[in-house]
Chains A and B, each alone.
Chain A
Amino acid sequence: MDWHRIRSDFPILDQQVHGHPLVYLDSAASSQKPRAVIQTLTHYYERDNANVHRALHELSNRATEAFEATRGKVARLIGAASEDEIIFTRGTTEGINLVASTWGTQNLRAGDVILLTGMEHHSNLVPWHLLAQRTGATLKHISVLDDGTLDLAQIDTLLNEQVKLFAFVHVSNSLGTINPAKELIAKAKAVGAVTLLDGAQSVGHMPIDVQDLGCDFLAFSGHKMCGPTGIGALYGRMALLESMPPWHGGGEMILNVTLEGSTYKPPPHRFEAGTPDISGVIGLGAAIDYLQAIGLENIQRHDHNLANYAVQLMGEVHGIRILGPLSGHRGALVAFHLDFAHPHDLVEFANSHGVAMRGGHHCTQPLMRRFKVPGTTRASFYFYNTLEEINRLVEVLHLARKFFA
């Protein structure tokens, strides 16, 4: 793979920040966009913009065609059995909230257990907190071990018949841990629990096949995989989607409305009230085409090489503590703590050297408490990053040590 040529597809990366070449290491928060996606958005607004569905004019036909074609692209990207199992959302957070509000409210009762883990993003905690408050269901969590992996020894105790839902993160945004999703889902199914996988950091980074994984729901965001912000998707197994009540009511999701009541469309449109983010969906389609052309296996391998190289080289910085697995598979990010600089001071320092990272709790406050750190600094990668950029990062960490220690 010619990764340097691929990198040149991203116009934003070719710039100086504070007099230094930009080193963008914050893709876990939001990825950059290739020219193909940017041009698709421009083309849509210059040639095809119109509201989707219903209208019979040319522009609406084009917009509808491109919009609905993306549903099939998403389905193929994640191995869904049917494109009707794909609901467009604003992102991972909205997808999880949709499941909590519809399936959760319909199915959970006092005494039922929602099983989560100690490494969940707030977006896979708070919707379940709210659901538990509404229904009287109980929350339980699988602990995180010192090496940043789940304490799998707890699973046989925690995953029992009381568990109605098991929701967990595929790749941790704060540790880089890749959870053994297929194995965990199989265990959950064995006790009859419904499973939701938070794919925010995995979809677009590795091949995903929901039928092979066996999950009931998969939520993810477009903007972390080269798509526009404000768009994402929720996969749901059709049998479940069909059983679920609507979430938001409005246009687009109805079959027939009288003044007294209404009947609803089948999935996925039942869950897509109002005018959708049409340009976002079409841009997401372009992002998927772009990623597929590179190949998800290739992206996964490159991610893996970057992360392993970073762990190895960063480990040599005096006073560093890297969170998460130090060997084997990890996602494309390295979160760490330095004994000589607070994350915000380090991020500020790195920024003045052109290096963009993120410091703080990364929306995983319980995990920060678990590891007894106020926060961490996170360097996260995508396929447009290079080994040279990791060299530069480590050089800046050494400079920071001279400056702060």
Chain B
Amino acid sequence: MLSDDLRDLYQQVILDHSRNPRNRGELPPPCLHAHGDNPSCGDEIDVWVKVKDDGSIEDLKFTGQGCAISQASASMMTQKIKGKSKTEAAAVREDFRRVVMGDGAPANEDALGELILLEGVQKFPQRVKCAMLAWRALEQALEEK
């Protein structure tokens, strides 16, 4: 029997994203790019972001390798962030961080959509860095000039 915590961590939607990641690949230049890694576990993610003149995120893709949590989180992130403004993206990122770290209620839970399914990570503190890996890379990419 699987524990409820483990079932929450690895929900079908999450496993599906990790098996069949969306928006996987690179974007051609010009675009923003950042590399993120978790040296302690070897997970790596590269994020490519195309930002329009009005500051909205036109497209984003990722490559990399890692556990189901880091890959699913990256895949779900690309779907959620595409089309958002940088400010909206930052707000989603902060809400997502609160959810996976169990650090207070998200300001706008509805905006998270299926990302809320990664809430199970809360019970596995060592996996928070897996869930946040792609988001840290995204933040870094958007900080680039």
User: Which residues on A are within 8 Å of B, measured CB to CB?
Assistant: 18-19, 341-345, 348-349, 352, 359-361, 365, 368, 374-375, 403-404
- Contact of B124 with A348 in the complex, beta carbons under 8 Å: yes
Known contacts A360-B42, A361-B42; A349 and B67 CB within 8 A of each other: no
Known contacts A344-B130, A348-B124, A349-B6; A404 and B68 CB within 8 A of each other: yes
Q: For residues 122 through 145 of chain B, which have their beta carbon under 8 Å from a beta carbon of chain A?
A: 124, 127, 130
How close is A260's CB to chain B, nearest CB, in angstroms?
A: 46
CB nearest neighbor in A for B43:
A374
- Contact of B42 with A348 in the complex, beta carbons under 8 Å: no
Question: CA–CA, A404 to B12, complex, Å?
Answer: 10
- Contact of A374 with B10 in the complex, beta carbons under 8 Å: no
Q: CB-defined interface of B72-106 with A at 8 Å, one 1/0 digit per residue?
A: 00000000000000000000000000000000000
Q: Is B65 interfacial (CB-CB < 8 Å)?
A: yes
Chain A residues near B15 (CB-CB < 8 A): 404
Question: CA–CA, A375 to B42, complex, Å?
Answer: 7
Contact of A348 (CB < 8 Å), options: B1, B66, B127: B127
Enumerate the 3 nearest inter-chain pairs by beta-carbon distance, A residue then B residue, closest first: A342-B67, A344-B67, A352-B6
Can you list 9 A-B contacts (CB < 8 A)?
A: A19-B3, A341-B68, A345-B68, A345-B69, A359-B41, A374-B43, A374-B65, A375-B41, A404-B68
- Contact of B1 with A19 in the complex, beta carbons under 8 Å: yes
Count the A-B residue pairs with Cβ separation under 8 angstroms: how many?
A: 47
Chain B residues near A18 (CB-CB < 8 A): 3
Known contacts A344-B41, A404-B15; A374 and B1 CB within 8 A of each other: no
- Contact of B5 with A352 in the complex, beta carbons under 8 Å: yes
Q: CB-defined interface of B2-19 with A at 8 Å, one 1/0 digit per residue?
A: 110110011000010000
Chain B interface size range: 20 to 34
Question: CA–CA, A349 to B68, complex, Å?
Answer: 12
CB nearest neighbor in A for B40:
A360
Question: CA–CA, A18 to B4, complex, Å?
Answer: 11
CB nearest neighbor in A for B3:
A352
- For B3, B67, B69, the residue with the greatest tally of chain A CB atoms inside 10 Å of its CB is B67
How close is B15's CB to chain A, nearest CB, in angstroms?
A: 7
Question: CA–CA, A105 to B30, complex, Å?
Answer: 50
Contact of B67 (CB < 8 Å), options: A345, A361, A365, A368: A345
- For A360, A365, A368, the residue with the greatest tally of chain B CB atoms inside 10 Å of its CB is A360
Question: CA–CA, A352 to B3, complex, Å?
Answer: 7
Chain B residues near A349 (CB-CB < 8 A): 6, 10
- For B3, B10, B42, B130, the residue with the greatest tally of chain A CB atoms inside 10 Å of its CB is B42
CB nearest neighbor in B for A352:
B6
Given A345-B68, A352-B6, 7 extra CB contacts under 8 A: A19-B1, A345-B69, A352-B5, A374-B66, A375-B41, A403-B10, A404-B68
- Contact of B43 with A348 in the complex, beta carbons under 8 Å: no
- Contact of B68 with A374 in the complex, beta carbons under 8 Å: no
- Contact of A348 with B3 in the complex, beta carbons under 8 Å: no
- For B2, B5, B127, the residue with the greatest tally of chain A CB atoms inside 10 Å of its CB is B2
How close is B16's CB to chain A, nearest CB, in angstroms?
A: 12
How close is B33's CB to chain A, nearest CB, in angstroms?
A: 21
Q: For residues 43 through 69 of chain B, which have their beta carbon under 8 Å from a beta carbon of chain A?
A: 43-44, 65-69
